[in-house]
Structure 1
Amino acid sequence: MIFSVIAFSLMNTGVKYLNDFSAYQIVFFRSIGTLCFTIPLIIKHKIPILGTRKKWLILRGVAGVISLTCFFQSLNYLSLGTAVSLRYTSPIFAAIFALLFLKEKVKPIQWFLFLIAFLGVLIIKGFGVDVNSIGLILAILSAIFLGIIFVLIRKIGDSENSLVIINYFMVMAFVFGGLMCINHWRNPNAVEWLLLLSLGVFGYVGQLYLTKAFQSYETNVIAPLKYLEVVFMILIGTFWYKETYNLWTLLGVLLIMVSLIYNVYLKRKKSKA
């Protein structure tokens, strides 16, 4: 999960730098770089490329494309740390979907913690530095579909190779991004070509280790490490992109992180009991 966090942080930094490009073109290039890894590896290891649980793999791919596109678009409106913080309210939605579809129970104290996390979102919106409403909606939509992804990966479990799961996602991103960016195409220069293609490399590493982490160990133990990405993004945004975070924004981020990490701790404690 730590390898995943570092890789995704580098990818997000590159996306922010490439904000003159449409989200669709970035999704397109994000998929190309990853497919250069997944397809050869699947062929090399003679893994059935279509998998066995096609319905769940397709749903995971669709949810992934929507979440990724919304998040990349949100970076055009929000600072790095704010966008990532809002996106990682996803465990709230994952818990709701798990309750509805996997019949997993949610304790009253967990609902209270989710309420605190949403309070953090409201503080960021109400008192943060120039938080754009469109960016906020896009980041929350990304979080909702990320929550769906967590439940779908849990549903798929270890019945599918992680490369197959990622490949479904990236093939759909390639088709969707390619079609949508036709009317939004911008010719990259040499440096931009390198950065665009590197998104897929960092995204592949991040996605691979994220999937392996959730497949190999309990979600409630692994998930808190994901919030290191928020810290990395705030630091990068502050020192590289000169973004400004006031105390209200940082308080909102802190409420989101603490409440959701404590929620994971409660689930872990329950599982040990």
Structure 2
Amino acid sequence: MSMILAAAALWGLLGLFAVTLNAVGFDGQQVAILRILCAASLLVVGGRWLLRGVDPRVLAAHSPRLLLHGLIGVLGYNLCYFQAIDDVGVGVAVALLYTAPLWALIFAVLFDGESVTVRGVAAALGALCGVVVLLGQTLSSGTGALSGVLFGLAAGVCYALYPVLGRRLIARLGPDPVMASGFILSALVLLLLPGTWEALGRLAVHRGEWAIWGALLAMGLFGTLLAYALFTRGLRRVNASRAAVLATVEPVVAVLGAVLWLGERFSPTQWGGVVLILVSALLVAIPGRHRVSGSSPADPSPDRPPPRG
């Protein structure tokens, strides 16, 4: 249990590290690019053990699916999430990200034939109300708010698609190789884009500024690799539904950090929207017994909660 809580807390700190980079001129897209490159570099240098025991021919055979999984679940998620942080702040961005369990529930119904649950319907309505409340309040805050809300919701969709696209890959290769390949393949794609070299050039200007390099390293090492390692190993001792509940520590840490450390302020209405979304995520995470149809509760991730990319 402690491993799951520690992983969730580390993920909750990602937004705070990102704001450090935003403050010196890196936009959300550049922060996402640098995080992926940092994590991929650490994996290449010191994470070969993650691919231990995996036949390279098997990886090559699954490369199209691994690439799609990486582009959506890793690259797409990071670009959308960190852009949302840049546009609307950590608190609102992480609340919108946590619509992911609801998207996962929808995907489970559409793609896996899961039946609709009473909890699922209540959670969907609660999350919808929470998003509407946040949208109304955030739009009144100024420029970039609408795009930030849309990016936050898109991050939730990409997060929810991680297990949908990766379920067969994880069953065949294991979670560690799938995570490692997602970051490495995403980094290789990014190296083909001019924006990546612009971000690296801007980072080079800040050489010797240890606060900036420390924030980037913390995102790659602690907020990505260590958090993922703790989470996957914690799942060996905690069942998936309980882990999903424990993982909601992440938005709590993120919101409290945004308020206490960054000085972000929420109106009572915005707090209501955040609470609605988090309660809705918990409704999905905690198995229910009463169903509209079917015999067992819909689980957005039958094997494990979706690991953060």
| TM-score category, normalised to shorter length | 0.7 to 0.9
Task: Work out whether residues 4 and 205 of structure 1, in 8 Å CA contact, stay in contact via their aligned partners in 2.
Answer: yes
User: 1:96-127: CA deviations, max 9, x gaps?
Assistant: 11222222222244123211111001111213
Aligned to 1:194: 214
Residue of structure 2 in register with 1:58 after alignment: 67
What TM-score do the two structures reach when normalised by structure 2? Answer: 0.78
Unaligned segments of structure 1, at least 5 residues:
none
Q: Distance in 1 between matches of 2:160 and 2:90?
A: 20
Q: 2:67 is matched by which residue type in structure 1?
A: I
Which residue type is aligned with residue 248 of structure 1?
Answer: T
Write out per-residue CA displacement over residues 6-57 of structure 1, whole angstroms, 9 at most, x where no aligned residue: 2212322111111121334323332333234433333584544563644442
Cα distance in 2 between the residues matched to 1:149 and 1:41:
21
CA apart distance, 1:210: 4.0
Give the corresponding residue for 1:96.
106
Deviation at 1:258, TM superposition (A): 0.9
1:135 aligns with 148
Aligned-partner Cα distance in 2 for 1:219–1:43? 25
Is residue 2:250 matched to residue 1:237? no
- 2:28 counterpart of 1:23: yes
Match of 1:208 in 2: 229
CA offset at residue 68 of structure 1?
Answer: 0.8
Residue 110 of structure 2 corresponds to residue 107 of structure 1:
no
Partner of 2:287: 266
Q: Deviations over 1:50-106 (max 9, x none)?
A: 636444422221112111111111111112111001011011111111222222222
Q: In 2, are the aligned partners of 1:220 and 1:268 still within 8 Å (CA)?
A: no
Q: CA deviation at 1:171?
A: 1.3
Equivalents in 2 of 1:268, 1:41: separation in Å? 42
TM-score w.r.t. length of structure 1 = 0.87
Alpha-carbon shift at residue 211 of structure 1 (Å)? 4.6
Deviation, structure 1 residue 268? 7.8
Give the aligned CA root-mean-square deviation in angstroms: 2.7
Please list the CA deviations of residues 226-270 of structure 1 after superposition, one character each: whole Å capped at 9, or x if unmatched.
Answer: 221111111111111111111111111111111220222234884
Equivalenced residues, count:
272
CA 37–46 in structure 1, closer or farther in 2 if over 3 Å, else same: farther
Counterpart of 2:16 in structure 1 is 13
1:75 correspondence with 2:71 = no
1:93–1:147 CA contact under 8 A, matched in 2: yes
Partner residue, 2:305: none
Letter in 1 for 2:36: S
Between 156-165 and 116-125, report the one with greater CA deviation.
156-165
Following TM superposition, by how much is the alpha carbon of 1:163 offset from its aligned partner in structure 2, in angstroms? 2.3
AA aligned to 2:150 is I
> Per the alignment, do residues 211 and 27 of structure 1 end up closer, same or farther by CA in structure 2, a change over 3 Å counting?
farther
Tell me the distance in 2 between the aligned counterparts of 1:102 and 1:218: 21
Gaps (5+ residues) in structure 2? Answer: 291-295, 298-309
The range that moved more, 204-213 or 106-115, is: 204-213
Higher helix share: 1
Contact map agreement 1:42 1:164 (CA 8 A) in 2: no
